[in-house]
Chains A and B, each alone.
Chain A
Amino acid sequence: GQNIDQPTEMTATEGAIVQINCTYQTSGFNGLFWYQQHAGEAPTFLSYNVLDGLEEKGRFSSFLSRSKGYSYLLLKELQMKDSASYLCAGSWFSGGYNKLIFGAGTRLAVHP
C-alpha cells in the first residue's frame, strides 16, 4: 500500500518561516492535499497540488515534485494560531473515487 511520511513534531518562533516535508510513493498517484487540524477540531483543507511546482495562497504555500514523490508546506510570518497538526494526504484513484491516504500529521508548536 501507499505510505505517507512526514515529521512527527516541529517547533518554530512567531514571525518565522517553517517548512513541513512530506514524501509518498509515486505509483498511481493523482495529487496531494494538505489539511490543518487544531486540537479537538475537524481537519480543514489548506491546499491541493496536482502539477509540479509551487502554489501560493497568502502566508501558506505548497510545493509538489511528482517525480520525486515529495511535497512541502511552507508557512510564513508564523502566528500563534498556526499551532496545529498539519496532515499530508495523497490521492489515488481507486474504486471510482479519489482515495486519500493520510500521513500521521506533523504537530507544529509556535512559540513567542
Chain B
Amino acid sequence: ETGVTQTPRHLVMGMTNKKSLKCEQHLGHNAMYWYKQSAKKPLELMFVYNFKEQTENNSVPSRFSPECPNSSHLFLHLHTLQPEDSALYLCASSQGKNRALAGGRNEQFFGPGTRLTVL
C-alpha cells in the first residue's frame, strides 16, 4: 500500500461512453499527477495539479478532462475515447512545490492504476 488509491482498477468502455477515473491520496501531499502507461513505452505525464491548481497539461487531447476538487482527490473524466487510448492510467502524489523549492527529494507515490480498454 502506497497511500494512493485508484478506482476502478479495470474499465472497459465503448468509444461513445463517458466514464471517470478516481484517485485519492492519504499522505497529506499537495501535488497530484496523472500518467499514461502504454506497453513498452515510457510513463507519459498527462496532468499536474499543485495545491489544486493545474500547472501542466502535457498536450493531452480534450477527450481527457481532469478535475481536482481538493488536495486529496483527483479525477480524470473520459469521453469519446479512441482504441489507442487503451492503457494503464496511473495517479501519483508528492509533497509539492514548497518541498521542491527546499531541495527536498519530493518523490512521487503511485497508485495501482486503472487498466482501461476502449472498444
Chain A residue total in the interface (Cβ 8 A): 28
Q: How many A-B residue pairs have CB under 8 A?
A: 64
Please, which residues of chain B bring their CB within 8 A of the CB of A41?
A: 112
Please, which residues of chain A bring their CB within 8 A of the CB of B90?
A: 42-43
User: Which of B31, B42, B107, B113 is close to A97, meaning CB atoms less than 8 Å apart?
Assistant: B31
Q: Which of A10-18, A63-71, A74-82, A101-109 sits within the interface?
A: A101-109
**Interface residue? A99 (CB, 8 A):** yes
A-facing mask of B65-105, CB < 8 A → 1, else 0? 00000000000000000000000001000101100110001
Of all chain B residues, the one with the shortest Cβ separation from A6 is B42
Interface residues of B in 29-79 (CB under 8 A from A): 31, 40-43, 45, 48, 50, 55-56
Main secondary structure of the interface of A (DSSP, over half): strand
B41:A104 contact, CB within 8 angstroms:
yes
B55:A95 contact, CB within 8 angstroms:
yes
A42:B43 contact, CB within 8 angstroms:
no
Question: Contact residue range for chain B?
Answer: 20 to 34
**Interface residue? B2 (CB, 8 A):** yes
Of all chain B residues, the one with the shortest Cβ separation from A96 is B97
A23 to B61, CA, bound (A): 30
Of all chain B residues, the one with the shortest Cβ separation from A9 is B40
Please, which residues of chain B bring their CB within 8 A of the CB of A93?
A: 100
Please, which residues of chain A bring their CB within 8 A of the CB of B101?
A: 96
A97 to B99, CA, bound (A): 8
B112:A42 contact, CB within 8 angstroms:
yes
Please, which residues of chain A bring their CB within 8 A of the CB of B110?
A: 35, 42-44
B97:A42 contact, CB within 8 angstroms:
no
**Interface residue? B7 (CB, 8 A):** no
